[in-house]
Structure 1
Amino acid sequence: MKIVPLLGRILFALIFVMSGISHVGGAGVEYAASAGVPAANFLVRVAGLLSLIGGLSVLLGYKAKVGAWLVIVFLIPVTFAIHRFWGIADPMAAQMQMANFMKNVALVGSALLIAYFGAGPLSLDNK
């Protein structure tokens, strides 16, 4: 069953690696700006770097605890800046943002587990 933490790391990290690549390239800048994020062009790219580096670290199991903290540092401000469901009048849009907010809360919980327990037996950290 040593493969279970590896599979979990892979599935967890994919969202951060894929979105990190997009954000470093500038995807999401307009959306962040429309949500009121100051200096969106700069901050989206910084967030993309945090996401990408943290995601790769967890994926490879190399310094995974540090990588998990990078993911947390990425997720917390993004969650509160972008997914403010409590301020949306349209019930359908509010529900979608609440789903994204709660997804990010769950991802923070998962990252906290990795930050505490590490990458598991099949990882570069364990070599």
Structure 2
Amino acid sequence: MNYINLAGRLLFSILFVISGISHFSSQTIAFAASQGVLFANILVPASGILALIGAGLIITGYKPKWGAVLILLFLAPITVAMHPFWTVSDPIMYQMQFINFFKNVSMLGGALIIISSAPAAIPVVRRNTFKAVTA
């Protein structure tokens, strides 16, 4: 059962690793700027850092709840800013934005589940368990 938790963390997080890396590309920054994102050259890489650190914490099992908080901070503004399906008139683009918006909403739900759940059953990184001896 513990391996299911590890597999779930990996499957949930892999998108954020891939996405986080892409947030350092000039194409992603230019696309965000074309969508009206202010200071895209700063905010897009910063959001990539949030995604990468959040995914890393979830995957390794080291402070996965904090990782999920970082994923929430990454996803919430991106979901609203980059996928406003309610403003799109073209039926095909409407459908694409609608799907991406609710895909992100479901991932926000997954992050909330991680925040509310028990610690990682199989952490990839183990915390130091040595205790100092006092005289």
**TM-score interval w.r.t. the shorter chain?**
over 0.9
Residues 14-60 of structure 1: CA distance to partner in whole angstroms, max 9, x if unpaired?
00111111213444111111111101111100100000100111011
Question: How many corresponding residue pairs?
Answer: 127
Work out the CA distance in 1 between the residues paired with 2:124 and 2:92. Answer: 44
The verdict on how the C-alpha distance between 1:44 and 1:38 changes in structure 2, with shifts beyond 3 A counting, is same
User: Which residue identity is paired with 1:97?
Assistant: Q
User: Which residue identity is paired with 1:100?
Assistant: N
The verdict on how the C-alpha distance between 1:59 and 1:91 changes in structure 2, with shifts beyond 3 A counting, is same
TM-score by length of 1: 0.93
Consecutive unaligned residues of structure 2, counting only runs of 5 or more, are: 128-135
Larger gyration radius, structure 1 or structure 2: 2
1:49-68 alignment, distance < 5 Å: 49-68=49-68
User: Which residue identity is paired with 2:48?
Assistant: G
Consecutive unaligned residues of structure 1, counting only runs of 5 or more, are: none
Identity over the aligned pairs, expressed in percent?
Answer: 44
- Partner of 2:71 in structure 1? 71
**Contact preservation (8 Å) 2:50, 2:71:** yes
**Contact preservation (8 Å) 1:5, 1:119:** no
User: Which residue identity is paired with 2:109?
Assistant: G
1:23-38 alignment, distance < 5 Å: 23-38=23-38
Question: Aligned Cα RMSD in Å?
Answer: 1.5
**Contact preservation (8 Å) 1:83, 1:97:** yes
